[in-house]
Structure 1
Amino acid sequence: MVSIKDVSKMCGVSVATVSKALNDHSDIAEATKANIRKVAKELGYFPNSSARALKTNRTFNIGVLFVDEAQSGLTHEYFANVLDSFKVEAEAYGYDITFISKHTGHKNMSYYEHSKYRGVDGVVIACIDFSDPGVLELINGELPVVTIDHVFDNRTAILSDNANGMKSLITYLYEMGHRKIAYIHGADSSVTRNRVGSFYKTLGELGIEVPDEYVKEGIYHDPDTTAKLTRELLQMEDRPTCIIVPDDFSSIGGMNEINEQGLRIPEDISIAGYDGILLSQVLSPKLTTLQQDTKALGRIAAEKLIALIENPKASIIERVVIEGKVLQGKSVSKLN
């Protein structure tokens, strides 16, 4: 195996100079850097991550904790898009990604224990159940942590603007003439509470009273539950003219149920989603939804976490809110 000493010998410079050149230090001339990199490449030299960890006290490895209630993993398109953006940004800074779990081979360990076992420099958390004791152990530990879509007093959080997102969606439905708007929301979480609160608040400001039976608790990323609850809404004597579902993926269940009841979208009843994933724009009819900015969520989460890792003395707790936008689609009718 080629070592850094082999590169220094071939270039006629010290090991320290080779190390500085490969790490792009400013006190090494550009011509010297170029020559050292050329020789290193020709010899097939690659820096050893373990050696770098010993020298810098960092592994340049970031943990990702993602667990959703439907156990959908990276088939969850919204979170997959957020985490892909996170990964791209982290790699641009020279960091690798490790997924954190409670199971490693035949060993069971907590999220915190797995993070320490893998030697990650920090962890990003994007999951539904932030009350999980294993998550709280990480939150209260010494590792740098950034959360996505949940706020802890002692941690930086990157948040989609769920309150204004729901307000924008409701306002659009109102402008389309809808006054009987039902909402199938996801299970209890800070995201759900913000969306439900904004749903009631916005309709209240528009002078619309919402019947209790118009609001139903469902499950995120679960078309079957959404189908069942859509059926209940359709069977009401005074049924809604528009149904908002928990998310775009769940809308498949709602739309299928509407079709099975012999109703047309949007002529007989309208439906709206949330997230703005690619699927929403290839459904027929194209789904009206609130598109969240997944690229910005992932990118900024990576930027903030790496800043905490690399400059901990200058760290401050931040709340970064990312706005979304309404995609009008074709699933909401214009009422007179």
Structure 2
Amino acid sequence: MVSMKDIAKACSVSVASVSKALNGYPDISEETRQQILKTASEMGYLPNSSARTLKTKRSHNLGVLFVDEAMSGLTHDYFNHVLESFKRTAESKGYDITFTSGNLSGQKTNYYDHCRYRGVDGVVIACINFFTEEVQKLVYSDIPVVTIDHVFDGRISVVSNNIQGMEALVTYILQKGHRKIAYIHGEDSSVTRSRLGSFYRTLQKKGIEIPDEYMPVIPYRDAMSAAIATSELLNLKDPPTCILYPDDFAALGGINEIRDRGLRIPEDISIAGYDGINFARILEPKLTTLCQDTETIGRLAAEKLIDLIENPKTTIIDKFTVDGTLFPGASVRDLNKLNTKNKI
């Protein structure tokens, strides 16, 4: 294994100069620094992580707390893209990532103790019940934390703009002439509350009231529950003309139920999803959905966490909101054209 002593000999400089160049210290000429870095790269030098930790007081390791109650793990269509962007950004800045859990060598532990055991410099928290005592202990600990899609006072958060997203989606459906719009929404969370408030507010601006029977509640990413809720909506005496789903995966359950009844999308019933995952663009018809910017969310989460670790006194503690983009698709029928034909 190549050592700093080997690099120093090759460059005819001291070991101290090599150390300064590799660790970014300013008291060395740029010419010497570049020579040392080039030589180190050519010789295949890899710094010892334990030695670096002792010297910098940092492990250059970021914890990821990700607990998906639906047990989909990293196949979760939305969060796996967020975490991939987070990982890519962290690695580009010289950090590794470690998944944090409530188990350590088969023994139950809490998230905070696991993070301390692993020696992570900071933690990003996503897709979890943020209201549990265990999560709050970690959030308000001495470990730098960034949360995704949930806001805590005095902590950095990166959130998808669910208010803007739902407003854009509902406005588009209204522009297509729909007034009887059902929303099969997810269970209570800060994300759900933001989307519900925006849903009702957007309709209120048009003077439209939605009956409670149009608003069933199901778990996120639960296609079976979505199919049952879709069936109940279609069985109503006055069924909706358009059904919104809490996420694109749940929309699959609705699509299956609609097709099992021999109905067509969007000719007989219009639908829309939320998330903008890849398969929504290849369905037939393409699913109308709100695409969340997973690339930016993951990148920002990594950048803000690393900034908090490296510059704790100057980092701004704030909520960073990322807008989504409407994907029109072809699953919402234009009722304006239908009404025009009827008038003729």
TM-score using structure 2 length = 0.94
Q: Tell me the equivalent position of 1:308.
A: 308
Which digits, 9 at most, give the CA deviation of each residue in 1:243-296, with x for residues without a partner? 000101111111011000111000000000001111111111100001111111
In the alignment, the residues of structure 2 paired with residue 328 and residue 266 of structure 1 have an alpha-carbon distance, to the nearest angstrom, of 13
Residue type of the partner of 1:296? T
- How many residues are matched? 336
Which digits, 9 at most, give the CA deviation of each residue in 1:136-182, with x for residues without a partner? 11111010101111111121111111112111111110000100000
* RMSD (CA atoms): 1.4
Does 2:35 match 1:53? no
Shift in Å at residue 45 of structure 1? 2.8
Secondary structure of 1:312's match? coil
Q: Tell me the equivalent position of 2:342.
A: none
Q: Tell me the equivalent position of 1:67.
A: 67
Does 2:271 match 1:271? yes
Does 2:251 match 1:258? no
Shift in Å at residue 91 of structure 1? 1.2
Tell which deviates more after alignment, 225-234 or 30-39: 30-39
Q: 1:25 to 1:161 in 2, by over 3 A?
A: same
1:223-234 superposed matches below 5 A: 223-234=223-234
Q: Tell me the equivalent position of 1:32.
A: 32
Shift in Å at residue 43 of structure 1? 4.4
CA contact (8 A) 1:2 1:45 kept: yes
Does 2:89 match 1:89? yes
In the alignment, the residues of structure 2 paired with residue 315 and residue 41 of structure 1 have an alpha-carbon distance, to the nearest angstrom, of 32
Does 2:107 match 1:107? yes
Secondary structure of 2:124's match? strand
- The gaps in structure 2 that reach 5 residues or longer are 340-344
In the alignment, the residues of structure 2 paired with residue 211 and residue 144 of structure 1 have an alpha-carbon distance, to the nearest angstrom, of 44
Shift in Å at residue 92 of structure 1? 1.4
Secondary structure of 1:114's match? helix
Q: Tell me the equivalent position of 1:192.
A: 192
Shift in Å at residue 214 of structure 1? 0.1
Q: 1:303 to 1:43 in 2, by over 3 A?
A: closer
Residue type of the partner of 1:139? V
Residue type of the partner of 1:23? N
Residue type of the partner of 1:158? V
Does 2:15 match 1:15? yes
In the alignment, the residues of structure 1 paired with residue 10 and residue 175 of structure 2 have an alpha-carbon distance, to the nearest angstrom, of 73
In the alignment, the residues of structure 2 paired with residue 272 and residue 42 of structure 1 have an alpha-carbon distance, to the nearest angstrom, of 54
In the alignment, the residues of structure 1 paired with residue 200 and residue 56 of structure 2 have an alpha-carbon distance, to the nearest angstrom, of 52
CA contact (8 A) 1:128 1:189 kept: no
Identity among equivalent pairs (%):
60
Residue type of the partner of 1:48? N
In the alignment, the residues of structure 2 paired with residue 294 and residue 7 of structure 1 have an alpha-carbon distance, to the nearest angstrom, of 41
Residue type of the partner of 2:283? L
Residue type of the partner of 1:327? F
Tell which deviates more after alignment, 238-247 or 197-206: 197-206
- The gaps in structure 1 that reach 5 residues or longer are none
Shift in Å at residue 24 of structure 1? 4.2
CA contact (8 A) 2:186 2:219 kept: yes
In the alignment, the residues of structure 1 paired with residue 113 and residue 276 of structure 2 have an alpha-carbon distance, to the nearest angstrom, of 36
Shift in Å at residue 83 of structure 1? 0.9
In the alignment, the residues of structure 2 paired with residue 44 and residue 94 of structure 1 have an alpha-carbon distance, to the nearest angstrom, of 16
CA contact (8 A) 1:280 1:287 kept: yes
Q: Tell me the equivalent position of 2:246.
A: 246
Residue type of the partner of 1:225? S
Does 2:340 match 1:328? no
Q: Tell me the equivalent position of 2:162.
A: 162
Shift in Å at residue 113 of structure 1? 0.9
CA contact (8 A) 1:290 1:325 kept: yes
In the alignment, the residues of structure 1 paired with residue 67 and residue 265 of structure 2 have an alpha-carbon distance, to the nearest angstrom, of 33
CA contact (8 A) 2:82 2:298 kept: yes
Shift in Å at residue 102 of structure 1? 1.0
In the alignment, the residues of structure 1 paired with residue 114 and residue 177 of structure 2 have an alpha-carbon distance, to the nearest angstrom, of 52
In the alignment, the residues of structure 1 paired with residue 37 and residue 298 of structure 2 have an alpha-carbon distance, to the nearest angstrom, of 32
Residue type of the partner of 1:100? T
In the alignment, the residues of structure 2 paired with residue 41 and residue 204 of structure 1 have an alpha-carbon distance, to the nearest angstrom, of 62
Residue type of the partner of 1:251? A
Does 2:285 match 1:285? yes
In the alignment, the residues of structure 2 paired with residue 209 and residue 326 of structure 1 have an alpha-carbon distance, to the nearest angstrom, of 24
Secondary structure of 2:253's match? helix
Does 2:152 match 1:152? yes
Q: Which runs of 4+ in 1 moved over 6 A?
A: none
Residue type of the partner of 2:28? I
TM-score using structure 1 length = 0.96
Secondary structure of 1:285's match? coil
Q: Tell me the equivalent position of 1:118.
A: 118
In the alignment, the residues of structure 2 paired with residue 86 and residue 262 of structure 1 have an alpha-carbon distance, to the nearest angstrom, of 43
Q: 1:44 to 1:323 in 2, by over 3 A?
A: closer
Does 2:221 match 1:221? yes
Does 2:203 match 1:203? yes
CA contact (8 A) 2:124 2:147 kept: yes
CA contact (8 A) 2:227 2:257 kept: yes
CA contact (8 A) 1:181 1:214 kept: yes
CA contact (8 A) 2:154 2:318 kept: no
Secondary structure of 1:81's match? helix
